[in-house]
Amino acid sequence: MTAGAPYVCPYCRTATAGNAPTCTACGAPVDVSLKATPSGWIELPPARDMAHIQCGHSSVQLAGPMVPVAEFTLAPGDGVYFPHHELLWKEPGVTVTQRGLKGAWKRMLAGLPVHMLDAVGPGRIAFSRDAAGETLAIPLHPGRSVDVREHVFMVATHPIAYDWITHEVWFQTGTGDERETHHPIGQLLDRFSAPAGPGLLLVHAHGNAFVRELAPGEHLYVKPSAFLYKDTSVHIWLHFSLPHASNVTRWTAWAERYMWVGLKGPGRVAIQSAYGHVHDPGGRITGGKHTVHQW
């Protein structure tokens, strides 16, 4: 590549000179031939071992190809926040304190971490998630925000604001005292935004991660537990498809339905290839917004 030529990272869209082996914003290899599936999914090029990402005066290095470690070198005054169980090691000089979170009670009921910790430099601190997969670096430019599924957030730098939102991916079964609410992607979505300055968000994908850009109005269905994150402009909803069955067996096949998360552009969506099974309890759906397609 010509030195100084403009280069737009296909993953994080950051424009750089392109003369480094990895994107300086997200760590993705610069000079790679992208593997795009015929349907348009782009396999996220995993950050090279020891990839170095600069974020302000601080930096982060991604090490380890199987269960990667994100090692931050924090400049004086720079900081990151993280759920407490993501911490792998730290230098004794790095100060760790509790970060105030609004709605702790609601978060606890939703099964989200109640303790969010703050670490402030100078010094080094490292994070890893207890699972095989990829660490995704998502640089957020001012004004940009993303919605991330529960329990994949690893760490974010201080310029990034953290909030959570409710969504429409839920349904109810049963009636009266037997009524039960189900949340295939969890009760809440984490929302990260960069209101003033740029920041860096790290999330963990189980297995491999794939991203694609949805055009306005374009939509697709993904397995609920494979959903990873999306631009806030992407609409998300719950969809059921019912397989074709003969008239004789249709009424007995009511539980043979496929549950999907619908995603409608414009915007970027990402999925992970290793996902847990989301159990559909079956039974008549008695509440919640969703779409149905009967084959």
Closer CB to other proteins, 135 or 173, in the complex: 135
Smallest separation (angstroms) from other proteins to the CB of 62: 9
Phi and psi, residue 232, nearest 5°: -70, -20
- Burial label, 140 (beta-carbon count in 10 A; 0-12, 13-18, 19+): buried
- Report in angstroms how near the CB of residue 3 gets to other proteins at its nearest: 14
Interface characters, 211-250, with other proteins (x: CB under 8 A): ----------------------------------------
* x/- letters, 171..190, toward other proteins (CB under 8 A): --------------------
Q: Which amino acid is at 216?
A: P
Beta bridge partners of 206: 133
Closest approach of Cβ 115 to other proteins, in Å?
5
| Tokens 């339905």 belong to residue | 257
Nearer to other proteins, 88 or 242 (CB): 88
- Give 167-207 as a 3 state SS string: CCCCEEECCHHHCEEECCCCCEEEEEECCCCCEEEEEEEEC
Q: x/- string (CB under 8 A) for other proteins, residues 86-125?
A: -xxxxxx---x-x-----xx--x-----xx-x------x-
Binding of other proteins at residue 58 (CB under 8 A)?
no
Exactly one of 14, 16, 48, 110 binds other proteins (CB under 8 A); which one? 48
Residue whose CB is less far from other proteins, 135 or 193: 135
Nearer to other proteins, 158 or 204 (CB): 204
Closest CA to 273 of 31, 46, 29: 46
Question: Which neighbouring-strand residues pair with 285?
Answer: 173
Verify binding: residue 57, other proteins, rule CB under 8 A. no
Q: Is 75 in the site for other proteins (CB under 8 A)?
A: no
> Which residues have a Cβ under 8 Å from the Cβ of 201 and sit 6 or more positions away?
137, 138, 139, 140, 146, 148, 153, 155, 156, 157, 160, 192
CA distance 57 to 280: 47
Using CB under 8 A as the criterion, which residues of the chain lie in contact with other proteins when the complex forms?
A: 20-22, 48-50, 52, 59, 61, 63-69, 71, 73, 84-85, 87-92, 96, 98, 104-105, 108, 114-115, 117, 124, 126, 128, 130-132
